[in-house]
Homo-oligomer: A and B are copies of this chain.
Amino acid sequence: MVTLKHLAEQLNVSVSTVSKALHDSDEISPDTIERVKALAKFLNYKPNQLAVSLKNSKTNTIGVIIPNILNHFFAKALFAIEQEANKQGYNIITCLSNELYAKEVNSLQLLSNGSVDGFIMSIAEETQISNNLDHIEAILKQHVPIVLFDRVSEKITTDKVIIDDFDAAYQATNHLLSEGRKHIVLISNIDELSVGKLRTNGYHEALKEAKNYDSEPLVIAIKRDGSIEAEIEKLFKDHAAIDGIIAIDNTSGVVALHKALKLNYKVPEDLSIIGFSDENVLQFTDPKLSTISQHTIDVGKASVELLINRLQNKSETSTEIKTIKAQLQLRGTTK
C-alpha cells in the first residue's frame, strides 16, 4: 500500500508537505505541488480512509439497516439510499437484520463506535412485535443520529421518513366504494407491522364513514409463514360475494388477481383489486394491477437528505418527520 510516507521519502520532503500538497494548500509552492501529485498519480496513491476517518472522527459513511432485502420495497429503498448517498459523497455499509431483533442490536452496536457517522434504518419485524427499542435509544443517546424510514415507532424521537399509509388505504377503500362495491375485503400478511396497522385502520375508517355500506369489514390476515395462495383460495370460497379487494402488502394483490381470473371473476367488471405494489409486478399481470405506489425512491432520497442534514448542522434542532405521499395508480383492475 502506497502511503504519504512513501511519497515523502521518494521526493525528499516531509510527510506534511506531501499531505498539504495533495490538498492544494497555498502554503506549498506550485512546483512542489506538481511534483507530489505527479508521483502520487504515478504510484496510484489513494489515501487510507481508515486513517483519515480516525483522524477526523468522521467517516463519511452511513450505516443502512434493512429488514429484508428480498422484499422488493426494501431493495428499491436501498437502491435509492445508495444512489443519493453516493451523490453526496457518502459511502454506505449495509446490514441486513433479516427481521431479527438480535441482528439489529448487533449491527447497531458494531457500527456505532466510529465506523459510521449515522444510520438509516427500518425496524425489524421482531423488534416491532416486541416493541423493545432500547437499543435504538442507546445509540441516539451517544449522539449518533438515526433516520427511521417506513417502519418507525412513536416511542422514538428522531428524524423519520414515512408513507401516509393510513391515507393511502383510506383513499383506496373510498375509490372502491365510489365504484359502488358492496363487499370489500382487505388482505394483509404484514399484520404485525406499524405500516400494516395504519393501512388497516385507513380501510376501517373509510368503511365506517361510508353511507349505504352494509357489510362488515373483513380483514384476512395471512400469517408470515402461511401460504398466500391457499388463504386467498379459501377467501373466494368462503365469501363468493366479494367485489373489492385491497391488498396491503407487496405481493398478495397479484396473487389475488390471478386466483380471481382463474375462478372466472371478471376483473374489473365483477371485482376490483388494488395492490400495494411496485411497477415490477406489472409485467406479470393482465389486466395491469391498479396499485398504491409508494414512491420508494423518494423515501430513500429523503432519508439520506435528513441524515446528512443532521450530520452537517450539528445544531440540535427539533426532529423532522417527512411524509411521502402514496399515490393511487388506477390501471386495469379497477373501474
State the A residues within 8 Å of B (CB): 1, 44, 46-51, 53-54, 59, 61, 69-70, 72, 75-76, 78-79, 82-83, 86, 91-96, 98, 103, 109-115, 138, 142, 228-229, 251, 254-255, 258, 262, 280-281, 283-286
Contacts and interface: CB of A to CB of B under 8 A. Distances in A.
Contacts of A59: 50
A47 B82 CA distance: 27
Contacts of A111: 49, 91
Contacts of A95: 82, 91
A284 B76 contact: no
Contacts of A285: 258
B79 A283 contact: no
A114 B251 CA distance: 42
B93 A92 contact: yes
A325 to B, nearest CB: 23
Contact of A284 (B48, B79, B96, B254): B254
Nearest to A113: B46
A283 B228 contact: yes
B46 A112 contact: yes
A54 B115 CA distance: 12
B1 A48 contact: no
A79 B96 contact: yes
A50 B44 contact: no
B46 A251 contact: no
Contacts of A91: 93, 95, 110-111
A114 B111 CA distance: 17
B76 A44 contact: no
Contact of A1 (B50, B114, B258): B114
A111 B47 CA distance: 10
Contact of A255 (B1, B112, B283): B283
A284 B262 CA distance: 12
15 contacts: A46-B109, A46-B110, A48-B54, A48-B114, A49-B113, A49-B114, A49-B115, A50-B53, A70-B280, A75-B75, A82-B94, A254-B283, A254-B284, A255-B283, A284-B284
Given A69-B79, A75-B69, A96-B82, A138 B284 contact: no
A113 B255 contact: no
